[in-house]
Amino acid sequence: MSEIVLSGIRATGKLHFGNLMGAVQHFVRFQGRGDTCLFFVADLHTLTTLQDPDDMRRNLREIVKDYLAAGLDPQQSILYAQSSVPEIPELSLLLSMLQPLGDLLRIPTFKEKVRGQDESATLGLVTYPVLMAADILGPKATLVPVGEDQVPNVELARRLAHIFNARFGETFVIPSMMDEMVKVPGLDGAKMGKSDGNAIDINAPISEISTLYKKRGVTDPKKVRAGDPGNPYRTVDIAKGVDEGCRSVYAVHELITPGEKEGREIADECRAGTIGCADCKERLVGSIAAILGPFQEKRAALANQDDYVIDVLHEGGKRARVLIAPTVEAVREKMGVIIY
Ligand code: ADP
Ligand code: TRP
């Protein structure tokens, strides 16, 4: 059966290497398979952490350029801005009538974002996953490629689809996730994130990325000299106060350095003390450069193509609406809402 593949990214800032490896790279992989692919910029979700309106407009276009440079093709994928499909927030409102509040308050991404805000957290932040469910269920997506951190949100969309179907009859498809999801560590070893100051901007010059890894990449603290044996794998046990092994470099090798996942050569060299952390970092930057070099070349050619980007978004928005509007109409009718 052919899939309907859908995913989105918020317009909160520049894309980083975690976004590319955890999400966009998979979008490109699915695009060539003859499936229906929808990839969008979640501008309404961006408003939950409202920034400057000019920043939001600019970020949105820049992310579309990143999508295009990474290999997304508007002939093969529907590329759009979430807000170009007004049926999505409508569906979100309809679905919110079935969504238990308790689940929303317990969702880890919400808890992280409202930490310390108490009752000043906005309603938009609470209902964030319901809007995301509308993104997914509107076009009846069967597969949602995302990074590991988004799993609770997609699970909520799956539950909401079940709740709706049980109450109003089979309407929504239950979406799946990829078998293997990743969490790319940032320079400090925590999840690489746009707002965490630990990210590698996918448009940064390779020399800058090299300096960042050299100065801020955290390896195994116990491997002091190049010849000391090290532990390439990080182990964390908060209860026991354990945090050992390489934090930010080796895990990325395993994800992107050709042959490493199968052969574990660098891991063996690290353990044997035949490679030092500086060399290991340099090899990592080489692997990153092999991925980002061709990307950055295409991206540079798109730098001044805002008119083209606007055309892509306009066409994509129209195509997305054609796919999504009939589902929302059916939902509305099943719930007894008639537009007179
Ligand atoms: P950020 O967390 O940096 O704000 P987003 O939340 O906009 O980024 O994430 C966009 C997509 O990129 C999502 O599918 C998310 O799971 C994925 N993603 C973000 N950070 C990482 C990471 N460090 N590793 C893997 N995937 C990631
Ligand atoms: N919440 C996602 C993120 O922060 C972005 C997003 C919004 C999304 N709607 C979606 C991802 C639908 C997948 C499917 O990255």
- What is the average pLDDT value for the chain, to the nearest integer? 95
CB of 41 closer than 6 angstroms to any ligand 1 atom: no
CB of 139 closer than 6 angstroms to any ligand 2 atom: no
Instruction: Check pLDDT > 80 for residue 44.
Output: yes
Instruction: Please give the Cα distance from 131 to 123 (Å, whole number).
Output: 12
Instruction: Check pLDDT > 90 for residue 116.
Output: no
Instruction: Check pLDDT > 80 for residue 69.
Output: yes
| pLDDT (average), residues 198-222 | 97
- Centre of ligand 2 to C-alpha 46, Å, is 10
Give the chain as a 3 state SS string. Answer: CCCEEEEEEECCCCCEHHHHHHHHHHHHHHHCCCCEEEEEEEHHHHHHHCCCHHHHHHHHHHHHHHHHHHCCCCCCEEEEEHHHCCHHHHHHHHHHCCCCHHHHHHCHHHHHHHCCCHHHCCHHHHCHHHHHHHHHHCCCCCEECCCHHHHHHHHHHHHHHHHHHHHHCCCCCCCEECCCCCCCECCCCCECCCCCCCCCECCCCHHHHHHHHHHHCCCCCCCCCCCCCCCCCCEEECCCCEEECCCCCHHHHHHHCCCHHHHCHHHHHHHHCCCCHHHHHHHHHHHHHHHHHHHHHHHHHHCCCHHHHHHHHHHHHHHHHHHHHHHHHHHHHHCCCCCC
pLDDT of residue 121: 87
> Which amino acid is it at 138?
G
- Centre of ligand 1 to C-alpha 147, Å, is 6
CB of 182 closer than 6 angstroms to any ligand 1 atom: yes
The residue among 166 and 108 whose pLDDT is bigger is 166
Q: pLDDT tens for residues 54-68?
A: 999 999 999 999 999
All structural domains of the chain: 4-184+305-334 (3.40.50.620), 206-301 (1.10.240.10)
Instruction: Check pLDDT > 80 for residue 1.
Output: no
Q: pLDDT tens for residues 139-191?
A: 999 999 999 999 999 999 999 999 999 999 999 999 999 998 999 999 999 99
CB of 146 closer than 6 angstroms to any ligand 2 atom: yes
| Shortest-distance atom of ligand 2 to CA 145 | 13
Residue written as tokens 């052969």? 263
From 78-87, 92-101, 111-120, 309-318, the region with the lowest mean pLDDT: 111-120
CB of 132 closer than 6 angstroms to any ligand 2 atom: yes
